[in-house]
Amino acid sequence: MAAVNVKELIRKLVAMQKIDEELFAFRREIRQKPEELAKLKMQFDNKKALLHKLQARAQELELARKAKELDLKSKEQDIIKADTSLMALKSNKEYQARLFEIENMKIDKGVFEEDILKLMDESERVGKQIEAEKAVVDGEEKKYLAEKEKVDAEVAKLTEESSGLEARRREVMVAIDKEPLALYERIVENRDGVAIAPIVNNACGGCFMHLPDQVINKIKMYDGLVRCEICSRLQYLAEDL
């Protein structure tokens, strides 16, 4: 390839690179925005999970209380039955024994009543926690939805702007030969958006490795594209263009 053509090719690739720098920056932003949002969503989900745990606990407590109330009811019926049976008893011994049974049943009844009160206390405590947590979840949800709306709008704007760049990129692209274009595209994708880098202070502008004089001399000959041996990016001398 004639030197003049190589220089012309490098100029086109550098023009393409300028567009790609912006384009990759857009892409990074478009990628990062939803990641920030995902963090907020996770916070919101964690708060929701805590609320659900409390709600499950409240349900457990209610079931436990209902079971205790049934126990209490049946104990009360047992006591009434035993009380009624007292009159039919013939001997004093039987009477005393039944009285003793009734006393024990009353003690059990007292324990059930105490348990029910404890369960009610805990239900009340959990109920208050649920109310507080609901307010937190509502707040988090509003925060998340507001942020999501903002991020969605920003991403839409970035996408629109980047599609403008894509159009400009296509215009530059059609003027580049197939082979160097394919090479450029491969490097730009694999090297985070930088396919062609200027030489700065005898170092590759892509990976900053020092370049031997022979590489720089090779570039100056302009008989083909020269790549960095370390990062594979194409190299150019800005002052030559």
Where does this chain bind Zn ion (CB under 5 A)? 204, 206-207, 228, 230-231
Strands (DSSP E) contained in the chain are: 196-200, 203-204, 234-236
Nearest CB to Zn ion, comparing residues 196 and 204: 204
Question: By the 8 A CB rule, do 46 and 214 touch?
Answer: no
Minimum CB separation from Zn ion for residue 10, in Å? 16
Nearest CB to Zn ion, comparing residues 135 and 230: 230
Question: By the 8 A CB rule, do 6 and 224 touch?
Answer: yes
Nearby residues of 183 by Cβ (< 8 Å), 6 or more positions away? 225, 234
**Cα–Cα distance for residue pair 29/158, rounded to 1 Å:** 8
Nearest CB to Zn ion, comparing residues 67 and 230: 230
Nearest CB to Zn ion, comparing residues 19 and 197: 197
Minimum CB separation from Zn ion for residue 234, in Å? 10
Closest to 65 measured CA to CA, from 122, 16, 135 = 122
